[in-house]
Amino acid sequence: MAKILDEMAAEKTAHETELRALSRPAIRAGATTPWGVAQISWQYADGVVLHSTAGHGGFHLDENANAVVHPRYRNDTGFYEEDCEWARVAHAFPQLFTAYERRLADRTLRDYYPDAYERVVGASLLEGQSRARDAQEFEKRHRNDWVVIAALNSNHKPGFVECIATPGGKRGGTDERRFLVLSSDYVIGQHGFVIDPLKHEPYDGPSSFVTWAARR
């Protein structure tokens, strides 16, 4: 743990040092953006501006700057929202971002745009390298299994978790079943909990789910 904390502190220090060396001056606000009128704006480079509005924000690239963005990442509007799409700008203009920001951008692109990422870098993502790709593989692997969509500690069976599961974890269907899972066994993975028919018993007794009880 101490080593991890030291590495985080060193990364933060390096990030702050690099930030001081980058030129991101505040410029006149008031630009119109898809997220509203910009309250604060910073110029990263010619044609590359970051806008912040009352509720959201993101980058705007002029025509020349937008042409630098890889076609698989490019938005024709030139606007890139701040939650995920900013990473496309960082990919196109790495010199405008710190090493920490570039690392975060790479992770964001892998997590949210795995198909485009693989085409751009020319490599296949491995398990654990992309949340979106791992979720896709989880769905394929368990599309015929019962996957929990809701769970709570049972008031009727102490020590158990009452679960509502559907095939593949799909919501909105009519095929739902309840199961009892030992509390000690109920450890949710990154993409959901899969019912093991050899361990987890179907349950048709009194329910701790108000909506399920009301149906009956």
Read off the pLDDT of residues 51-84 as tens digits, 9 standing for 90 and up.
Answer: 999 999 999 999 999 999 999 999 999 999 999 9
Residue ranges per structural domain of the chain: 2-133, 142-215
Alpha carbons 148 and 168: distance in angstroms, whole number:
9
Predicted local distance difference test score (pLDDT) of residue 212 = 52
Q: Quick check: 166 pLDDT over 60? A: yes
Alpha carbons 98 and 13: distance in angstroms, whole number:
11
Q: Quick check: 191 pLDDT over 90? A: no
**Straight-line distance from the first to the last Cα atom of the chain, in angstroms, rounded to the nearest whole number:** 51
Read off the pLDDT of residues 19-36 as tens digits, 9 standing for 90 and up.
Answer: 888 989 999 999 999 999
Alpha carbons 69 and 60: distance in angstroms, whole number:
12
Q: Quick check: 89 pLDDT over 90? A: yes
pTM of the model: 0.74
Q: Quick check: 114 pLDDT over 80? A: yes
Predicted local distance difference test score (pLDDT) of residue 24 = 94
Predicted local distance difference test score (pLDDT) of residue 1 = 65
Write the CB contacts of 50 (distance below 8 Å, at least 6 apart in sequence).
Answer: 24, 41, 42, 44, 57, 58, 59, 82
